[in-house]
Amino acid sequence: MADARVPALSCSGLAKSFGGVRVLEDVSFDFEPGTVNILAGENGAGKSTLLKIISGQERPEAGSVSIFGNTVTHFDPRHTRGLGVGIVPQELAPVLDRPVYENLFLGREIRGRSHLLNHGEMVRRAHEMLEVFELDIDPRVPMRYLSVASMQLVEIVKTTTSGARVLLLDEPTSAIPEREVEVLFGVISKLKAQGVAVVYTTHRMAEIEGIGDRVVVLRDGRLVLDRAVRELTEADIVRAMIGRSLGLLFPAKALVDSDTQPVLEVRDLRVETRPAVDLTVRPGEIVGLGGLVGAGRSELLEGIFGVRPSVGQVELGGRRVPRGDPSAAIALGVCFVPEDRKRAGLILSLPVLDNGAIPNLRRFTGPFGWFRRRLAEKVVGEAAEMTQLKSRGLSQLVETLSGGNQQKVVLAKWLTRDVSVLLLDEPTRGVDIGARSEIYRVIAGLARRGVAVLLVSSDLEELLGLSHRVLVMRRGEVMGELGPDEVSSPEAQERVLRFATGMVDTALAW
């Protein structure tokens, strides 16, 4: 174990610019061995660049990095790896069709005397490695059968067992369900005990308090906060990240008249083989769907919209929405913002204009199927403006936009038409706080115009902060409901969790 007085990771005076824009300016900090250090900041604050410099993928213009007292001389991943830096990127790239143990030993395979691979030994050692972290993963199954969370844990095990003493985790929880976060935290605690210095980037406040010893906040490339987590409140951290206080994050909820007839009525709807669900949403009402990942919330939205098979009744202002036909649902005014914008929400290879125009092509189609470009430009341009989309124009390819702006395009494309029901699945996943408050304003604004909103969110603050009512689901069933008064009560979070986990009497440490 290294001398406790030598920092595991020490950065001093780091600076970097891209194309004349300063992305890091005089960043200095020391991280001790055996600590978890949160690197926080909005998208574009410089977190990724900082991680790239520490892991040797980028060279700083000024300043230096040292690992356990050894100064990095070449900013090259092989050199920094040799000094003990390991990085688990946000987007993993495992070899999906090969077993877990081969992934663990890729590049450092165990060979027998004949120089042929010793599979038995690799499986045995892989077992040991996973056991140390109390992970219930069979090293012989192909990577493909693992959840994203498990793949990430395998990657962490791989990195630390190949000698990483400074472990960089880039938004490790952005793609994994809440209940598996616990397992990740367990692994991180074990690494701490082994004296590894963990650097952890995240957007989620709960994680900073749950796992962090220390938090370093970057804003516009400068270090604006560097303190022990226990000395700070959530509000302190948010204020440091966005440079103002968060009071206005959630717009005020407009009143919904409880006498109004519901516009969306779901009766006895069974999505695939799940239990039947009934729910209603009034015009102007935002109804939240709470629950753990896997509770069937996304599946319910997909069933209502028609991209997932379902039986039962969905009515829109008294008109029946046919099952399994998204284009019919769209024609009736239903729209859907899916959870995974890159996979299902956007056509990355096309410009903003095309993405915005596609849900509404009938309106932009003239005689002989002619595409009415001018009209589309006007309508999509207005929608983009409503969401405060920051782009170089409507012809910019969506793949070159930031995550928050991509999500605004997903919203904007539904603003080009008359919408009566908006189905939102995790609308702010991976979106930074600044863009999030803009997205919240758009959602609240639509509700105020009379749109009925059904919102799935795993972020409890978001769920309770936006919704008029919250339905909590577990194993495909609605287990409970929080009414308008209950949503804003101090016990709201706890009640959602009790319904979600089914633990009615057990105290929850969350």
Partner 1 sequence: MGMYGRVLLSALGRRAMIVILLAIIVAFALLSDRFATLSNAQTILQGASALSLLAIGQTLVVLSGGIDLSVGSLVALSGVIASLVVQGNPDMLLPAVLAGVGVGLFAGLVSGLLVAVAGVPPFIVTLGMLTSASGLAYVFSNGSPISGLPENFLAISSGSVFGVQIPIIIMVIAFAAFLILLTRTAYGMRLYAVGGNPTASRIAGVRVPVIYVSAYAASGALAGLAGVILASRVTAGIPTTGAGYELDSIAAVVVGGASLLGGRGTLRGTALGLFLIQTLNNGFDILNVTSYVQKIVKGALIVVAVFVDVHANRRRS
Phi-psi region of 137 (alpha: psi -120 to 50; beta: other; left: phi over 0): beta
Q: At what angle do helices 433-448 and 234-242 cross, to 10 degrees?
A: 100
Least distance in angstroms from the C-beta of 213 to partner 1: 40
Total of residues contacting partner 1 (CB under 8 A): 32
Cβ neighbours of residue 308 under 8 Å, at least 6 residues apart? 271, 272, 299, 302
Task: Pick the closer one to partner 1 by CB: 413 or 498.
Answer: 413
Contact 453, 285 (CB under 8 A): yes
Q: What is the 3-state secondary structure (H, E, C) of 408-473?
A: HHHHHHHHCCCCCEEEEECCCCCCCHHHHHHHHHHHHHHHHCCCEEEEECCCHHHHHHHCCEEEEE
Task: Pick the closer one to partner 1 by CB: 6 or 375.
Answer: 375
Of 69-77, 207-215, 392-400, 450-458, which part binds partner 1 (CB under 8 A)?
Answer: 392-400
Lookup: tokens for 291? 């629950």
Task: Pick the closer one to partner 1 by CB: 158 or 308.
Answer: 308
Least distance in angstroms from the C-beta of 450 to partner 1: 22
331 binds partner 1 (CB under 8 A): yes
Task: Pick the closer one to partner 1 by CB: 218 or 411.
Answer: 411
Question: Under rule CB under 8 A, which residues in 336-375 are in contact with partner 1?
Answer: 336, 338, 343-350, 354, 357-359, 361-362, 364-365, 368-371
Q: What number of other Cβ atoms are within 10 A of residue 203's Cβ?
A: 22
Strands (DSSP E) found in 68-173: 70-71, 85-88, 166-170
Least distance in angstroms from the C-beta of 302 to partner 1: 9
Find the binder of partner 1 among 28, 73, 395, 400 (CB under 8 A). 400
Least distance in angstroms from the C-beta of 413 to partner 1: 7
Task: Pick the closer one to partner 1 by CB: 96 or 361.
Answer: 361
Task: Pick the closer one to partner 1 by CB: 361 or 508.
Answer: 361
Find the binder of partner 1 among 88, 191, 330, 487 (CB under 8 A). 330
Lookup: tokens for 490? 């101090």
Lookup: tokens for 114? 């004949």
C-alpha to C-alpha distance for 363 and 369, rounded to whole angstroms = 11
Task: Pick the closer one to partner 1 by CB: 94 or 359.
Answer: 359
117 binds partner 1 (CB under 8 A): no
Find the binder of partner 1 among 253, 274, 282, 413 (CB under 8 A). 413
Contact 396, 427 (CB under 8 A): no
418 binds partner 1 (CB under 8 A): no
Per-residue x/- track, 16-55, partner 1 (CB under 8 A): ----------------------------------------
Q: What number of other Cβ atoms are within 10 A of residue 106's Cβ?
A: 12
Least distance in angstroms from the C-beta of 494 to partner 1: 35
Task: Pick the closer one to partner 1 by CB: 225 or 328.
Answer: 328
Least distance in angstroms from the C-beta of 306 to partner 1: 9
Least distance in angstroms from the C-beta of 400 to partner 1: 8
Task: Pick the closer one to partner 1 by CB: 181 or 353.
Answer: 353
Least distance in angstroms from the C-beta of 327 to partner 1: 4
Least distance in angstroms from the C-beta of 414 to partner 1: 9
Least distance in angstroms from the C-beta of 418 to partner 1: 14
CA atoms within 13 A on the CB side of 80: 26
C-alpha to C-alpha distance for 358 and 125, rounded to whole angstroms = 52
Rounded to 10 degrees, the C-alpha dihedral 456/458/459/461 comes to 60
User: Phi and psi (nearest 5°) for 244?
Assistant: -155, 175
Cβ neighbours of residue 400 under 8 Å, at least 6 residues apart? none
Of 29-37, 44-52, 179-187, 397-405, which part binds partner 1 (CB under 8 A)?
Answer: 397-405
C-alpha to C-alpha distance for 232 and 119, rounded to whole angstroms = 50
Q: Which 3 state secondary structure label does DSSP give 344?
A: helix
Task: Pick the closer one to partner 1 by CB: 70 or 327.
Answer: 327
Task: Pick the closer one to partner 1 by CB: 253 or 413.
Answer: 413
Question: Under rule CB under 8 A, which residues in 270-329 are in contact with partner 1?
Answer: 305, 307, 326-327
Count of residues making up the chain: 510
Residues that bind partner 1 (CB under 8 A): 305, 307, 326-327, 330-331, 336, 338, 343-350, 354, 357-359, 361-362, 364-365, 368-371, 397, 399-400, 413
